[in-house]
């Protein structure tokens, strides 16, 4: 289901819980993320989706917005790309900020449905995201992004304050009508 900015903020405790479980982050870091997530809801081009269980529990969520200069993530990635690559990937870009499914709910197509819903009709030429580096054969996230045609933009990228390496992946939009299973 599509979420409005107020929906994300209203369910912020649930969003942070799912985010922490999916990413394996400790509680102290999760508290700092609360403010960032709430602030993201006010960014231009904000879009969000969520999947809830029959009992109303949050099983997964995703959101993003228009990526522009002056935003922390945008500036980190742009500074690391060659000039032509930066212009090509980031001049008309939707930043897929978060896409997570509660670990116990993974493997049932929730991430795929959320990704498709989030990126359908996005009025941008490209989409970029970052995901922790992992074995592409065993990581559900990597397999999902590859199935949707995401390609490497940067690999083994380190964000300030995080000791894990990330892959920066991108693809042109729109998404294909069908994605291989």
pLDDT 10s digits, 50-67: 999 999 999 999 999 999
Assign domain 2-172 one CATH number from 1.10.3720.10, 3.10.20.30, 3.40.630.30, 3.30.1360.170.
Answer: 3.40.630.30
This prediction's pTM: 0.95
Of 174, 176, 171, 132, the C-alpha closest to 155 is 132
Q: Which residues sit opposite 101 in a β-bridge? A: 60
Q: Which residue in the list 19, 63, 65, 145 is annotated as catalytic?
A: 145
Domain ranges (residues) in the chain: 2-172
* Model pLDDT for residues 119-140, shown as the tens digit of each residue: 999 999 999 999 999 998 899 9
Active site residue 145: yes
């Amino acid at each position: 289901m599509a979420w409005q900015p107020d929906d994300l903020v209203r369910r912020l405790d649930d969003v942070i819980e799912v985010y922490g479980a999916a990413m394996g982050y400790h509680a102290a870091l999760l508290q700092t993320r609360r403010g960032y997530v709430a602030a993201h809801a006010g960014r231009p081009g904000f879009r969000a989706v969520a999947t809830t269980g029959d009992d109303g529990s949050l099983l997964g969520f995703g959101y993003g917005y228009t990526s522009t200069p002056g935003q922390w993530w945008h500036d980190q990635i742009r500074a690391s790309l060659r000039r032509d690559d930066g212009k090509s990937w980031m001049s008309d870009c939707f930043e897929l900020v978060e896409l997570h499914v509660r670990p116990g709910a993974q493997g049932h197509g929730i991430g795929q449905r959320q990704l498709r819903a989030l990126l359908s009709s996005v009025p941008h030429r490209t989409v970029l995201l970052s995901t922790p580096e992992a074995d592409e054969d065993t990581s559900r996230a990597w397999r999902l992004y590859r199935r949707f045609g995401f390609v490497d933009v940067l690999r083994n990228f380190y964000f300030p304050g995080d000791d894990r390496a990330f892959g920066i992946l991108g693809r042109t939009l729109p998404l294909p009508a069908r994605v291989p299973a």
